[in-house]
Amino acid sequence: LDNVRIERVPVGANIDDIYVHTEDQWTTQINISAGSSSGYRKWGFSVEESNFLGYGKTIALDYSDDVERSKYEALYFDPQFLNTRWNLETSYQSASDGWRQTTDFLRPFYSLDTKWAYGVSMDSGASTRRFYGKGGRVVAEIDNDHRSGIGFMARAWGERYNKRKLGILFSLDNLIYPNTTRIIFPEATTDKNIKKNLNPIDKES
């Protein structure tokens, strides 16, 4: 909303009518970008609607293309999932070298009087990491899969404008390399900065 004005009109003893005058903002955004760096071109296009069908939900579609990858992405955000205080945001990316999916589901401290907040966040996907040699050419590639998750819970207490908060957070993170590194040009095995990263170790925390 934009240019909000509230008007009070007395209509009787201890009785008022309240008029709220508003104007709608334009909620659809379209973005186009393009550029060039070191002889490589990149461009992108996206469209986002932040008040889908007048329900306050956000949907977005995005496409981008650069030297690393081309990528499509779809996003949905609902600040009042199923008419509750829960927020839901989820997105999915389909790329030329893999995919990625993220989901956030949380109930925040939505007011000064809210005592509890909790939620979960998940992120998973697969992609390809590229190593560049002289002249900017790709000399090696390695695939990686990642999975991560976070869960939290927090409690607030104290006076309304002087809150204290304490919480606990659990996180899980996995990064694995399912395939051996693909050597495209032999110089990848002689460049010290590249060679030391050609055989990474799977990580779990």
Structural element, H or E, at residue 192: helix 192-195
Nearest Cα to 153, choosing from 119, 122, 123, 121? 119
Q: Are 170 and 118 in contact (CB under 8 A)?
A: no
User: Hey, what amino acid is at 195?
Assistant: K
Q: Which residues pair with 123 in a beta bridge?
A: 102, 148
Structural element, H or E, at residue 34: strand 28-37
Q: With bands split at pLDDT 50, 70 and 90, how would you rate the model's confidence at 54?
A: confident
User: 71-82, pLDDT tens digit by residue?
Assistant: 999 999 999 999
User: 145-183, pLDDT tens digit by residue?
Assistant: 999 999 999 999 999 889 999 999 999 999 999 999 999
Predicted local distance difference test score (pLDDT) of residue 197:
85
Mean pLDDT, range 41-62, rounded to an integer: 93
Residue owning tokens 């104290």: 158
Predicted local distance difference test score (pLDDT) of residue 190:
84
Q: How far apart are CA 149 and CA 120, in angstroms?
A: 7
Q: Are 173 and 123 in contact (CB under 8 A)?
A: no
Alpha-helix residue ranges (DSSP H) falling in 110-205: 192-195
Residue 5 confidence (pLDDT) above 90:
yes
Predicted local distance difference test score (pLDDT) of residue 3:
87
Q: Are 176 and 202 in contact (CB under 8 A)?
A: yes
Q: How far apart are CA 136 and CA 80, in angstroms?
A: 47
Residue 195 confidence (pLDDT) above 90:
no
DSSP state of 93: E
Pairing of strands 15-23, 28-37: unpaired
Predicted local distance difference test score (pLDDT) of residue 12:
92
Q: How far apart are CA 64 and CA 152, in angstroms?
A: 33
